Amino acid sequence: GESVGLHLPTLSVQEGDNSIINCAYSNSASDYFIWYKQESGKGPQFIIDIRSNMDKRQGQRVTVLLNKTVKHLSLQIAATQPGDSAVYFCAPHSGSARQLTFGSGTQLTVLP
């Protein structure tokens, strides 16, 4: 099965600073990775995804970096805003599994 870990369970950043959330995975067969954001009292929401044939993908204020060699990915949020305060999950997919594995998440708190 998949083992998903997060380097930091909590992260506090000043408003306007950049945030980096890390995620380690163990299954080398994982070939598709999704980041979700979960605000308090709500269901997780898709942020950005990346496939294993890429090592970087950018969205609006977010960038995901994938390092398959060390089985690590990160989510970078530029100019962090109060609305970015949430729990962030990474979810690796492998071709043979219909199941998604989620880590415990990283709680991002944006300080004024």
- # of chain residues touching other proteins (CB under 8 A): 22
Q: What is the DSSP letter of 79?
A: S
Give the tokens for residue 108: 């991002």
Q: Which of 4, 50, 64, 108 binds other proteins (CB under 8 A)?
A: 4
Distances (CA, A) of 81 to 44, 45, 55, 87: 18, 17, 26, 14
Q: Are 73 and 90 in contact (CB under 8 A)?
A: yes
Q: Quick one: which of 30, 7, 51, 24 has its CA closest to 99?
A: 30
Q: Are 109 and 9 in contact (CB under 8 A)?
A: no
Residue 46 interacts with other proteins (CB under 8 A): yes or no = yes
CA distance 33 to 90: 7
Residue 105 beta carbon to other proteins: minimum distance, rounded to whole angstroms: 6
Residue 99 beta carbon to other proteins: minimum distance, rounded to whole angstroms: 5
Site for other proteins in 70-99 (CB under 8 A): 89, 91, 93, 98-99
Q: Which of 21, 23, 24, 34 binds other proteins (CB under 8 A)?
A: 34
Residue 88 beta carbon to other proteins: minimum distance, rounded to whole angstroms: 11
Q: Which of 22, 49, 71, 78 binds other proteins (CB under 8 A)?
A: 49
In the complex, the residues that contact other proteins under the rule CB under 8 A are: 4, 32, 34, 36, 41-46, 49, 89, 91, 93, 98-105
